[in-house]
Amino acid sequence: MSRARLSLCLVPILAIAAVRPLAAQEANPSDVESIDAIVAAVYDVISGPAGQPRDAARWHSLFIEGARLIPVGRGQDGAVVQRVITPAEYVERSFEVLQRSGFFEVEVGRTTESFGQIAHLFSTYESRRNADDPEPFARGINSFQLMNDGTRWWVVSIMWDSERPDNPIPPRYLRR
């Protein structure tokens, strides 16, 4: 093989090596050992009663460097709006509100597709202020992009949209 052809073959491999995940803190191995575990950890770390601090270090340990969170919805004028934020920005903007108000988000359905070291899943959620509230105040779908680096799972991105009268959750996303 010529040097030029070999160089072209190595470029994608070197590019992948350059984006190796780095966590702010070592994750608890039980949080990142499987798709089920990392999704459960995401929901667990944001959930809790009013007055209970959320664990920002644990939150950060779940995400790959450069991860993004993207809420999508409709503005008052009906236009689709989105915001792209980092896990750190989510902590800054949301953790105090979650702690002050109480917030419990649970997964009530999931569809998963995976190939090699990547996985995509639609995780249907219900949100409550108290764990024992009879009805959720919100429902929606979290679209997770996950990656396994050979030793653990990482959250690459989470994009979500809430259920609304004009955007009901299809029944197929309410099954496990």
Domain ranges of the chain: 22-174
pLDDT tens-digit map of 77-128? 999 999 999 999 999 999 999 999 999 999 999 999 999 999 999 999 999 9
The one-letter code for the residue type at 70 is I
| CB count in 10 Å sphere of residue 89 | 13
CA distance 58 to 38: 11
CA distance 95 to 57: 12
pLDDT tens-digit map of 11-43? 444 444 444 444 446 999 999 999 999 999 999
The one-letter code for the residue type at 133 is D
CA distance 150 to 143: 22
Fold of 22-174: Nuclear Transport Factor 2; Chain: A, (3.10.450)
123 in Cβ contact with 142 (< 8 Å): yes
Determine the pLDDT at residue 129: 97
pLDDT at 175 over 90: no
Beta strands in 58-103 (DSSP E): 63-74, 80-82
Give this prediction's pTM.
Answer: 0.85
Determine the pLDDT at residue 21: 47
| DSSP code per residue over 131-151 | TT-SS-SEEEEEEEEEEE-SS
pLDDT tens-digit map of 36-73? 999 999 999 999 999 999 999 999 999 999 999 999 99
